[in-house]
Amino acid sequence: MSRPAAGREAAASRPAGHPRSGLEEGRYRGLSLDVARRAFTIDGTVRLLDRMAELGLTALHLHLTETRRVGVRLPGFEELAAPDAWTAADCARLVAAADEAGIALIPEIDLPSHAAALLSGREYLQLRDRRGRVHADRLDVSHPESLELAAALLRAAAQLFPGDAVHLGGDEYFAAPWETEEEQRADRFPSLLAHGRSLVGTAGTAADSFAHFMNALAEVARDLGRTPLMWNDHVVPASQHPGIPISTDIVLDVWIRWRAWTPSVLDYLASGYRVMNSHGDLLYFVLSADGAPAAHGRRRFGLLEDLFRPRRFMGLAAQNEHLDVPPVPEGHADPVLGASLSVWCDAPEVLGEKELLALLDTWLVPFAASFGTTARAAAPAALEGGGQARLRPPAS
């Protein structure tokens, strides 16, 4: 698919002077924040924006929706929001603070998986497997109404958060490599298989139904004047000859490589994709049932500052194997657009907000330093909750 010269709604969605994420310039330095599973205060998030600006980061990716909770009152879908979700006024305050800090905001509506909260009242759109079991957290992308719903949700998020990019989600829809033979079956979801065959012919697969949906949603993003991003989980590279390829206009947010036979970042680059590095081993700050992450990005293999480089992607999950993508020759466009550190709140009760942000700062400092920026190691007053001073981003 070709990218239109200008999105039809770009003027309304991206006002003049709004901060850019750095994607198109190849200098994305981001933080992804899970405001779906956990309710972050606007005050705390504004302080985080200030700290990001001080560290030279460029974008805050807001993961707005999850299986159990919708973290924002989306226009037209207010009934889906959690009781403590951000209001339109909260979002307006956050947008103003991001503008002042020089940080781009990138909203994510995570579909077609992690969707149970979004499908409340629309249970007929939930996916069924071949045994008739309903998967309440998965949207049936073969249903004619599914794209209509997803597009409306994406437009609602874009209305709240002006900017130059949106994240489409697209993760964990199909079985992971370690799941059972039944879960791995090509005909596990008959509606997707039938839809894929209607699009491609007898060789069509459920993956083609998924790709068709994500491509159509990306067109909606481009009509909004936004660069679309999606997680890499189910993107089939050109070398595997998919019936319907995921459009190379979509930036792949590369976080995982489960097995040696699953695609690597090198496969995506060879297929013509632009990529962002969200290394799921090195750049995942996770509150889990096991507790809080260690300070300073410490993992069993070492410290973040020793292990991570912006062009170092996952080789194999949990194996301390990495793929270093070499720099491109001078004068050539760089398909590696940057990197992002992710905060996931699988067990949101593990830390209070103040403690979480203070611990997160010990990760942000070495992450920012990996790009060659200079930053203070100690958490500033702005993160600890008392400071009122607004911090300006460094001159580029």
**HEC readout, 211-280:** HHHHHHHHHHHHHCCCEEEEECCCCCCHHHCCCCCCCCCCEEEECCCCCCCCCCHHHHHHCCCCEEECCC
Q: Of 140-154, 192-206, 375-389, which range is least confident?
A: 375-389
Per-residue pLDDT at 29: 98
Per-residue pLDDT at 383: 53
**pLDDT tops 80 at residue 373:** no
pLDDT-based confidence at residue 18 (cuts at 50, 70, 90): confident
Cα(251)–Cα(59) distance, integer angstroms: 15
**pLDDT tops 50 at residue 386:** no
Instruction: Spell out the residues 6+ positions from residue 308 whose beta carbon is closer than 8 angstroms to its own.
Output: 279, 282, 283, 297, 366, 367, 370
Q: Of 51-65, 118-132, 302-316, 379-393, which range is least confident?
A: 379-393
**pLDDT tops 60 at residue 382:** no
**pLDDT tops 60 at residue 238:** yes
**pLDDT tops 70 at residue 374:** no
Mean pLDDT computed over 276-290: 98
Per-residue pLDDT at 16: 52
Domains and CATH numbers, the chain: 19-384 (3.20.20.80)
pTM for this one? 0.91
